[in-house]
Structure 1
């Protein structure tokens, strides 16, 4: 999407001898670049995870960790293979993915719509922002007893709980981006004679995209966190249900398998959103980019 925001700003040239010397030598630039986010080795962000696994394995081998409270890594892997071979893990994963995807989709659509209406109209802001801020102050999981009274304990209740958490994240981040457009762009649009519709399409919406994507990343993480709780309420299948059943039988290896799957799906979904964000906002010049 072409926008005023993507236009590169003009940089005044250095005319002094000292400025030319600094520009030529690059001495002033190198220290700043050291502060930037450089590309490291492939999968370098997994270094901390691998270190944690190494400490866990060493503690299990040395007998410092009680296997009844925390199973060894190899035991968890064996349990995961057994659950996959019997098809149990796939069944629970499919149920969890379905709930998370439906709740996430509803939450994104509703939250984004409310943010656009409140961010672009005064009447919308007056009617919508207050209730959303009130909901923000109330923990989503704190609404479980009330929603059970209203909706029962079926699938609808679980999806609504997930969607409510997503709505708040999407609204807050998108609304903040919509209402934080630099006033200089407003003045530039007036100078260029842009209509309101063109200004919204070329300036406001592109400017709100970083907040929109941040809302997506926070929402997808929140959806997984909420899912594990709601699946413990009258669920027949799902990773959360599998883990609660394992708790009753003292099966820490099964619980760890469930946590590992949650973590993997959380990291993958966040990585996908970050990739889409980089491709969609390639016009932005940022420290990380």
Structure 2
């Protein structure tokens, strides 16, 4: 009976611990929002300069009902996703190629590193002149911003593989394809996923700037348009939406890490 009681207590304790770990990341944001609402309600902050969270939510509900909010969110998601897929694919292919081939590395890496050190947002005038102010220009900026974090982390992950592991694989008679799929890529995957996570942050930062310049749709356009009419409710709403989308992207990146690196945790547990 005592063992059953101890098991029950231990199980309850684990449940509380898991619940607490899930709630802990939201503790500071919720506390800040609560203080923000209190400060506006108590008159410590002028509501014309900084509307309350309730006013921001009400503004969001109004824009949701008119259809303006979902339309602009979907447009921003399309631009972000298209730019990430294109830029991420280019960065990954170049990182893989230069990491595996010394000839390709000598030919391309120096030029890529020089381009990488140019702030990609400084290319906005060039992009507008070359591509105009349409969707292609905005997606191109996101593509450039995303490409380099993926490239540098893929390249670093592949070139950092332990040479002794490669030598062992060759000693066991593994083909080049088997070396890539069984040793090189799994070993580089943690670093590549770090690049993906960083690139997701760059993606939203680039999109914010791209959508505030000569745009007629998207979340950034909503914020710029609201700023011209001193509509702080919508400006803050757009900031909150970007923050939530960034958090969602980070959760997706973490989930991807958990799925792709499950073998690594299982190996550590067995060891």
TM-score when normalising by structure 1:
0.83
RMSD: 1.8
Rounded to whole Å, the distance in 2 between the matches of 1:146 and 1:55 is 44
Pick one of 201, 223, 229 that aligns with 2:209. Answer: 229
Provide structure 1 residue ranges, at least 5 long, that are not aligned to the other structure.
1-37
Instruction: Pick the structure with more helix per residue.
Output: 2
**Could you tell me which of 136, 140, 143 is aligned with 1:156?**
136
CA distance in 2, matches of 1:260, 1:92: 14
- Is 2:87 the counterpart of 1:107? yes
Cα offsets for 1:143-163 (capped at 9, x unmatched): 111122211221111110000
Shift of 1:187: 3.0
Partner of 1:59: 39
Alignment partners' CA distance in 2, 1:52 and 1:109: 38
Equivalent residue runs for 1:109-124 within 5 Å: 109-124=89-104
**Alpha-carbon shift at residue 59 of structure 1 (Å):** 1.2
Q: Any unmatched runs of 5+ in structure 2?
A: 1-16
Contact 1:177 1:211 in 2 (8 A): yes
Matches within 5 A, 1:89-238: 89-238=69-218
Q: Give the whole-Å Cα distance in 2 for the aligned partners of 1:41 and 1:197.
A: 41
Query: More displaced, 57-66 or 236-245?
Result: 57-66
Secondary structure of the residue that 2:183 maps to in structure 1?
helix
Count of paired positions: 251
Larger mean CA deviation between 180-189 and 110-119 belongs to: 180-189
Question: 1:30 maps to which residue?
Answer: none
Q: TM-score, normalising length from structure 2?
A: 0.88
Superposed structure 1 runs of 4+ greater than 6 Å apart: none
